[in-house]
């Protein structure tokens, strides 16, 4: 078998990575004879990177994952539904609405986004556990700005 037909060809793996991103695929596994490689995106990818890799060269061609990335099909991102100022607590002396580890359901208020003196309480609209807080208290946020990541498995 010629080198160009090798499934672990670097170019082909790059194409696969592009395809995974384009189609939102999180995992692809390739096998050829006694060698195999698994390409995984997000947090699971970081774990996969330390799994036994049959072909070190091919594995080295996979981009390094972001160490702190919390991603995957089970992670939902709560975004700002409007422009305004992000408040993580109902008033300056109160505890934050949610913290990392807080369980939320669809109706749980996770923050306030204030604009034009309208204090909009933002519900989670998803069930799970908060795994990351992405905005700081009193930060100016635009429409669509990621605010929280929620793990929907728990």
Partner 1 sequence: MSLPEINAGVRQRILKQGWIQFLDWQHEVDSTNQRAKEWLLDWAESASLPALFVADVQLAGRGRGGKVWFSPEGCLMFTLAIGRSLLPESPQHWSQLALVSAAAVAECVASWIPDGTRRVALKWPNDTFLAGRKCSGILVESGAGGARLIGIGINVHVDFSPAPAEVRQRATSMHEHTLSDEPRLNDRKLDPGQVLADLLGLLQFYIGDWSSGGDAWLSVWQRRCLLSGKMLEIRCGNGQRLLGSCLGIDAQGCLMLETQAGIACIASGEVLSWQ
Question: What residues line the site for partner 1 (CB under 8 A)?
Answer: 81-85, 91, 109, 112, 114-121, 123, 138-140, 143
Residue of 72, 74, 82, 65 whose CA lies nearest to 147: 82
In the complex with partner 1, which residue's Cβ is closer, 30 or 82?
Answer: 82
Residue 147, CA distances (Å) to 26, 73, 85, 110 in order: 23, 18, 12, 9
In the complex with partner 1, which residue's Cβ is closer, 72 or 90?
Answer: 90
The CA distance from 5 to 2, in Å, is 6
CB of 85 to partner 1, least distance (A): 3
Is 81 in contact with 123 (CB distance < 8 Å)?
no
CB of 84 to partner 1, least distance (A): 5
In the complex with partner 1, which residue's Cβ is closer, 21 or 142?
Answer: 142
CB of 106 to partner 1, least distance (A): 11
CB of 107 to partner 1, least distance (A): 8
In the complex with partner 1, which residue's Cβ is closer, 39 or 135?
Answer: 135
Name the strand (E) or helix (H) holding 68: none
The CA distance from 11 to 27, in Å, is 18
DSSP class per residue in 111-128 = EEEEETTEEEEEE--S-E
């Amino acid at each position: 078998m010629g080198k160009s037909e090798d499934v672990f060809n670097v170019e082909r793996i790059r194409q696969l990575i592009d395809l995974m991103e384009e189609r939102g695929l999180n995992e692809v596994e390739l096998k050829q004879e006694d060698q195999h490689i698994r390409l995984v995106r997000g947090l699971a990818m970081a774990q996969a990177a330390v799994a036994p890799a049959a072909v070190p060269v091919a594995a080295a061609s996979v981009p390094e994952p972001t160490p702190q990335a919390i991603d995957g099909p089970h992670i939902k991102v709560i975004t700002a539904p409007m422009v305004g100022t992000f408040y993580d607590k109902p008033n300056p002396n109160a505890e934050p609405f949610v913290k990392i580890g807080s369980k939320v359901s669809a109706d749980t208020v996770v923050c306030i986004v204030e604009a034009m003196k309208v204090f909009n309480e933002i519900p989670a609209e998803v069930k799970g556990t908060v795994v990351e807080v992405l905005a700081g208290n009193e930060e100016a946020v635009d429409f669509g700005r990621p605010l929280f990541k929620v793990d929907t498995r728990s």
